[in-house]
Chain A
Amino acid sequence: MANKEILICTGTGCLSSGAEDIEARLVELLKQHDLEKEYPVKEVIKKTGCLGPCSLGPTMIIMPEKTFYGRLQVSDVEIIVEEHLMKGEVVSSLLTEDSHHHPIEDYTQIDFMKGQMRIALRNTGLLDPNSINDYIAKDGYKALHKVLTEMSQEQVIEEIKTSQLRGRGGAGFPTGLKWEFTRKAVGDQKYVVCNADEGDPGAFMDRSILEGDPHSIIEAMTIAGYSVGAGQGYVYVRAEYPLAVKNLSLAIEDARLAGYLGEDIFNTGFKFDLEIRVGAGAFVCGEETALIASIEGERGQPRPKPPFPANSGLWGKPTLINNVETYANIVPIILQGSSWFNSIGTETSKGTKVFAIAGDVNQTGLIEVPMGTTLREIIFDIAGGIPGGREFKAAQTGGPSGGTIPPEYLDLPIDYESLKKIGAIVGSGGLIVMDDRSCMVDVARYFLDFTQDESCGKCIPCRIGTKRMLEILERITIGEGQSGDIDRLISLGNTIKETSLCGLGQTAPNPVLSTLQFFRDEYETHINEKNCPARHCKALVGSYTIDPEKCVGCGLCAKKCPVEAIKGEKKQPYKINSDKCTVCGVCVTTCPVDAIS
């Protein structure tokens, strides 16, 4: 008989939308209704990591029926207990609707999940990350057993090579090759490192995997340790992820107690252990040589490569560095075989990629799809399109190292090569959707501001060059752009790309160059006409105005204006005092009828 389970997502997203109250209420009601025999709280209620559809939180899945209830309020729990648990009747009013407004019961069939293929995210949201038994019940540590008892180091590496898995941390380097280099490197001591610095603002898949399925990373790193000949591993987690650190620490302790970490794992004589290092807030530490410096306790500054970490990494020893999502693919490849894995995806990019979709889109969250899926499928079929019926203007991928994708490429199958061709990158998988109210010059300025701030200062092109670019972008957005500024941006950008020391500088101009490629006219309007077509740049918009034809006189804008610049009488068109208006944009987003611009 399939087990009864009630899965409550307690990832960072759902926690902040009130998942703990939902759980408390459920426990209380099970007691009240004397259901504890049938539903023993400890065994049945699973507090899981992030399932993915963050904007539907807080969520609950009832197993084995797979019933999905989303956007729960505390008062809904009583209905679920009385109807679903006691009478066995699905509460259709709490189900999620598909795009045709049909209620969908099975969580795998809701629009957000249907188009997905979950390999890296196979367990997140479906098991209790603090329970090693839950992980073992889902074939956990079987791959490690198989590797240690049946496979040679060469065989494991061959399997990873044949799978054609490529690094998910940004650069897409073939993982099997990297393992082979590290194995072949000469050294008495070797290390395995997991890069969980996840610096791209807008990406959060690594956080979700560590929070929701920490054992999968421990198992994969131990397999990697065996394959390359390392006895010690480090997970470098960024400081902003306290829950990931907590869940991973507990998982490491449990794995040690169960004998999956430490001495003589599975009585094979192989020994391996893990330590967590918490970052301290520096984007550049995601770069592998800077990360190594940071683990050593230094300022996190990168150094020139070669030598690559595979030959000279932590304390000068051969070191394997992979990203969290890369590791999350290892166990399935070992268990299901490389030919299964390399049958998924495109010619050059195998398997799946997790995208963190956010911004102006109906359903935000984590989406894992086969390589080769189009943006249209991701944004419109899975994530439900743009809110308020507005127009899709662009998608930004790869964060501060990436580029912007305009509507004409919505049907391009996404993989490492196809995005590179149009000046964007898959990168870590951050995917920010923007509607017609986003100004592309401001987006470029935002990213340059970020990289400029995060530049470690070691090399001049990156330190000074990004500053010069930022100054030009800033003056364009305040209406002081000069003719020739566009050419200056392009030439500066190309120089910085070619001469910077590390990947940070080498990719920093990308957001600018890519928006220039597709939205050059928007830059020109800013410079020549001193106007921002998206009506976003404060200095150029001057003041917002209310369209008296559209205004219904609800007064919401006046209530929300932080500087009290809006006055009017109910049911009459309101007016904005242009002297007071700071163009903060609160009223624009507040207005229910879109009358303000």
Chain B
Amino acid sequence: MAVAISASQRKFERVNEIIQKHNGKKSALIAILQEIQEEYRYLPEEILTYVATAMDLSPATVFGVATFYAQFSLEPKGKYIIKVCDGTACHVRGSGPLYKSIRKKVGLQDGKFTTEDMNFTVETVSCLGACGLAPVVTINEKVYGQMTPEGIEIIIEKLMGKEDNQ
């Protein structure tokens, strides 16, 4: 129990640092949430409540902002975040089949976006601005252009292999 408490304190400590860096300014709320999400890979509920208290905002304001923007996730995400662009260019160049085959490859059931082992999250995003290379997939920050179902499967297999070996 004692361990859990100190861990959670440490957790809020980092949040405090982030808020202080922005002088707790309300206009920095989005930037603060972005940095928190970078740290924890998602926005845990208790942290949002904490942010509200620390910044003297209502929880509704903070949750309102966190749920408005597509970039924020209130659920934990996998180690590898695979984003399939579904912008117009990618759509007409076959992002639909690509998305399906990726989901199948990592073994996602209907309605789920993250694998049980927390290794992969698969989602669609709007235009990544690399339309010239449609269809485009990104895995974490790396951009893969002119992807085919086959090509992406090979890349995913490599990542899976890396995880298995650990």
Contact = CB atoms under 8 A, between A and B. Distances in A.
A200 interface: yes
Contact of B133 (A54, A281, A359, A560): A54
Contact of B28 (A54, A207, A297, A582): A297
B126 A278 contact: no
A239 interface: yes
B149 A280 contact: no
B131 interface: yes
B78 interface: no
The 5 closest A-B pairs by CB, nearest first: A54-B132, A201-B87, A280-B69, A358-B89, A281-B70
A531 B129 CA distance: 34
11 contacts: A13-B132, A16-B130, A201-B87, A204-B132, A240-B128, A296-B27, A297-B26, A300-B69, A364-B89, A562-B149, A584-B100
Nearest to A365: B132
Given A201-B86, A203-B127, A240-B127, 6 more contacts: A13-B133, A296-B27, A297-B27, A300-B68, A360-B93, A582-B100
Most B C-beta atoms less than 10 A away, residue of A200, A202, A456: A202
Contacts of A584: 96-97, 100-101
A447 B126 CA distance: 12
Nearest to B105: A562
A297 B31 CA distance: 8
A585 B94 contact: yes
Nearest to B88: A202
A202 B87 contact: yes
A202 B29 contact: no
Interface stretch (B107-115, B140-148, B157-165): B140-148
Q: Give the interface size class of chain B.
A: 35 or more
Interface of A: 12-13, 15-17, 54-55, 57, 198-204, 207, 239-242, 277-283, 294-301, 356, 358-360, 364-366, 396, 399, 430, 432, 434, 438, 443, 446-447, 450, 456, 559-560, 562, 582, 584-586, 589
B126 A283 contact: yes
Contact of B34 (A200, A240, A280, A443): A280
Contacts of A443: 92
B88 A282 contact: no
Interface string B19-51: 000000111111101100000000000000000
Among A280, A282, A294, A586, the one with the most B-chain Cβ atoms within 10 Å of its Cβ is A280
